[in-house]
């Protein structure tokens, strides 16, 4: 994920570009840069690091000119270097360009351009777009962009300048977000709305493969055939705080809704139709044993990882609370890989467990969301979940990113250890690609969950039960409810419940069962439901769409689409997150600020 910002008008572009970038820094912060047209010449400043650091080093904001584009990067193609930072250029026609996304056919296009004499300076796919537009330039930047789009495959949002048309920015997108901010005597382009709100509330949401030209005096819009369109301008009514929340009342809800993107962003650049790409673990493929250390929700994702890694990759895996692990004198040898999972990358217990493991000679792989955090820096290998910044104290989208990364690791290990053949890998990737739409479907059908929350909100206790790979989802559902609604909830393995907690069951007790099809414990869980029903418990089932067997057993059923048994947990968790959120709101609590809780627990 990267951030794009552009300005054209009568004010000095430099300070505005830097201010816009700061609003977008959550989208990428390994490097940043800006390009302006100053006295007819392209002027570029860029470097690695956070925007503040780069500003100190190269004074981005003092670049001259009243038109410019800016970018903050989270590297996907090419390492984090000054050269690979955006903007990228093609000098024949004074082209400079910033881009978010991945050009899937970049090597084919690159070969064609090289044959025409274009020389590539960087390892990025973005440079291909700059040269491609340059190669089509015949006096109109807009026409060159339209011609280039015909040759580009993949996801992109970009903004481009040419020194031959000094008062114009051209922008386009496909699958990656891009909006136009319509001002008075000035116009803006940005990856999201909050970046332009200090200047304008009139916004055009660019659609896939539309092309916009921005000058100080206007915005013109074209479809990919070149036909002119009338821009559909939306007036944004959100206040500043709402804008940061993308129009949602709370970060927690916004982040729940961002989960389809958490899946696509985390897999971006890591899957093709037939393989999973994790070159970072090439030296770790013959590991004998894995120990996962984590806390809270990250520990729950670790439990799902344990199930996947043992089931598919046949690697003995244990999951430890980081806070317990370090005081247990754990047995670690050189064949042990310790996997530290953390959203913030700053959780004190996880960091300490990881240090302990390293001291004992283990290799540590970290699965982290926050780039450059302590855990990411100290690990031997880091794999970033690209869920974007998680502000809500209750973790939602980071959890999804973690499970996706564990799934990718599992397939990669399974394939490289010859436990999965190519067809099986293809099938698992196909399942993964279904997930964002299936998550979206649950979000679209949330009304039923909201209604259920009204009834649930009056209860004082709840039990969450699941088995196998769904057991961690029971734990996660219970944790989410406790955190934001302050209703006491316990997650339990569904069969273990009869060894104790069943004593609590009566008609006042909601018992939430995760009973998705395709799991080998499905029938057993149906029997567990009967056991609770016969004691008068109020049963809420999270069940698969189309499953009739569950009808008549549960009092209320929330349906989720069907995927493979390995990915069904990521669908089952959605109604539980939404339920917790709506119950908290119904009870009058602010889910973003649960009492006694901090987002990042940096003390032991
Ligand atoms: O940043 P981390 O993933 O290391 O944080 C771990 C836990 O503190 C965190 O998951 C916590 O349990 C959340 N509040 C759960 O919603």
Q: How many residues in the chain?
A: 604
Cβ atoms of residues 99 and 90 within 8 Å: no
3 Cβ below 6 A of ligand 1: no
Q: Is 599 a catalytic residue?
A: yes
Instruction: Tell how far the Cα of 195 is from the centroid of ligand 1, in angstroms.
Output: 28
Number of H helices, E strands in the chain: 18, 25
402 in contact with ligand 1, CB cutoff 6 A: no
Residue 80 above 90 pLDDT? no
Summarised one tens digit per residue, pLDDT across range 108-150 is 999 999 999 999 999 888 999 999 999 999 999 999 999 999 9
Q: What would the CATH number be for the domain defined by 445-592?
A: 3.40.50.10490
Give the pairing of strands 538-544 and 556-560: parallel
pLDDT of residue 130: 97
Q: How far is CA 80 from the centre of its chain?
A: 20
Q: 420-451 pLDDT, tens per residue? A: 999 999 999 999 999 999 999 999 999 999 99
Average pLDDT for 317-338: 92
**Domain 245-443 classification at class level:** alpha beta
What is the CA(548)–ligand 1 centre distance, in A?
36
Ligand 1 in reach of 297 Cβ (< 6 A): yes
CATH code for the structural domain at 3-242: 3.60.20.10
Tell me if 394 CB under 6 Å of ligand 1: yes
CA 182 to centroid of ligand 1, rounded, Å: 40
Report whether pLDDT(303) > 90.
Answer: yes
The closest residue, in CA terms, to atom 4 on ligand 1 is: 342
The residue extents of the domains of the chain are: 3-242, 245-443, 445-592
pLDDT mean over 328-336:
89
pTM: 0.73
- Which conformational region is residue 6 in: left (phi greater than 0), alpha (psi within -120 to 50 degrees), or beta? beta
What residues have CB less than 8 Å from 588, skipping those under 6 apart? none
d(CA 155, CA 145): 15
Q: Does 3-242 match 245-443 in CATH topology?
A: no
Atom of ligand 1 minimally distant from the CA of 295: 6
Q: Which atom of ligand 1 is nearest to the CA of 344?
A: 1
Which tens digits make up the pLDDT trace of 260-276? 999 998 998 899 999 99
Distance 136 CA to ligand 1 centre (A): 50
> Looking at ligand 1, which residue's alpha carbon is closest to its atom 8?
296
The pLDDT assigned to 603 comes to: 64
Q: Which range, 192-206, 398-412, 514-528, has the best average confidence (pLDDT)?
A: 398-412
Residue 295 designated active-site: no
Judge if the beta carbon of residue 347 lies within 6 A of ligand 1.
Answer: yes
Percent with pLDDT over 70 in the chain: 98
Q: Is 395 in the pocket of ligand 1 (CB under 6 A)?
A: yes
Q: How confident is the model at residue 240 (pLDDT cuts 50, 70, 90)?
A: low
């Amino acid at each position: 994920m990267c951030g794009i910002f552009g300005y054209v008008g009568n004010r000095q572009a430099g300070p505005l570009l830097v201010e816009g970038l700061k609003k977008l820094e959550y989208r990428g912060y390994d490097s940043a840069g800006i390009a302006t047209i100053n006295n007819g010449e392209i002027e570029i400043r860029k470097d690695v690091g956070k925007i503040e650091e780069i500003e100190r080093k190269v004074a981005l904001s003092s670049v001259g000119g009243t038109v410019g584009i800016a970018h903050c990067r989270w590297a996907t193609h090419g390492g984090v270097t000054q050269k690979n930072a955006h903007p990228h250029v093609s000098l024949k026609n004074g082209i400079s360009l910033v881009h978010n996304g991945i050009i899937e056919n970049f090597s084919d296009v690159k070969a064609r351009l090289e044959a025409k004499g274009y020389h590539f300076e960087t390892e990025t796919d973005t440079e291909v777009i700059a040269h491609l537009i340059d190669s089509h330039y015949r006096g109109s930047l807009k026409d060159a962009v339209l011609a280039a789009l015909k040759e580009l495959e993949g996801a992109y949002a970009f903004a481009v300048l040419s020194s031959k048309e000094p008062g114009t920015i051209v922008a386009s997108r496909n699958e990656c977000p891009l909006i136009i901010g319509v001002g008075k005597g000035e116009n803006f382009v940005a990856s999201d709305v909050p970046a332009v709100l200090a200047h304008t509330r009139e916004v055009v949401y660019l659609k896939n493969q539309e092309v916009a030209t921005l000058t100080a005096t206007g915005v013109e819009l074209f479809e990919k055939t070149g036909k002119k369109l009338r821009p559909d301008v939306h007036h944004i009514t959100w206040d500043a705080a709402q804008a940061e929340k993308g129009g949602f009342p709370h970060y927690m809800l916004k982040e729940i809704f961002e989960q389809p993107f958490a899946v696509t962003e985390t897999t971006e650049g890591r899957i093709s139709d037939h393989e999973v790409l994790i070159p970072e673990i090439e030296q770790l493929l013959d590991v004998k044993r894995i120990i996962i250390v984590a806390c809270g929700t990250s520990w729950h994702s670790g439990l799902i990882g344990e199930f996947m890694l043992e089931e598919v990759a046949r690697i003995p895996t244990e999951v430890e609370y980081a806070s317990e692990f370090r005081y247990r004198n754990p047995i670690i040898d050189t064949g042990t890989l310790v996997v530290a999972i953390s959203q913030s990358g700053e959780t004190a217990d996880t960091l300490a467990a990881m240090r302990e493991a390293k001291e004992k000679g283990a290799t540590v792989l970290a699965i982290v969301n926050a780039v450059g955090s302590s855990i990411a820096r100290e690990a031997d290998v880091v794999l970033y979940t690209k869920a974007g910044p998680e502000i809500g104290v209750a973790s939602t989208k980071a959890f999804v990113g973690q499970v996706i990364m564990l799934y990718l690791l599992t397939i990669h290990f399974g394939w490289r250890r010859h436990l999965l053949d190519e067809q099986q890998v293809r099938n698992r990737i196909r399942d993964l690609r279904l997930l964002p739409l299936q998550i979206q479907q649950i979000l679209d059908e949330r009304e039923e969950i909201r209604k259920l929350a009204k009834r649930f909100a009056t209860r004082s206790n709840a039990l969450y039960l699941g088995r196998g790979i769904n057991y961690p989802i029971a734990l996660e559902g219970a944790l989410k409810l406790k955190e934001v609604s302050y209703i006491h909830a316990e997650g339990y393995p569904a069969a273990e419940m009869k060894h104790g907690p069943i004593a609590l069951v009566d008609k006042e007790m909601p018992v939430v069962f995760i009973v998705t099809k395709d799991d080998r414990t499905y029938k057993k869980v149906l029997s567990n439901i009967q056991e609770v029903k016969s004691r008068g418990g109020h049963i809420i089932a999270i069940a698969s769409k189309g499953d009739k067997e569950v009808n008549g057993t549960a009092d209320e059923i929330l349906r989720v689409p069907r995927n493979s048994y390995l990915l069904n947990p990521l669908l089952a968790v959605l109604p539980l997150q939404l339920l917790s959120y709506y119950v908290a709101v119904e009870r009058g609590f602010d889910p973003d600020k649960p009492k006694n809780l901090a987002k990042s627990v940096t003390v032991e």
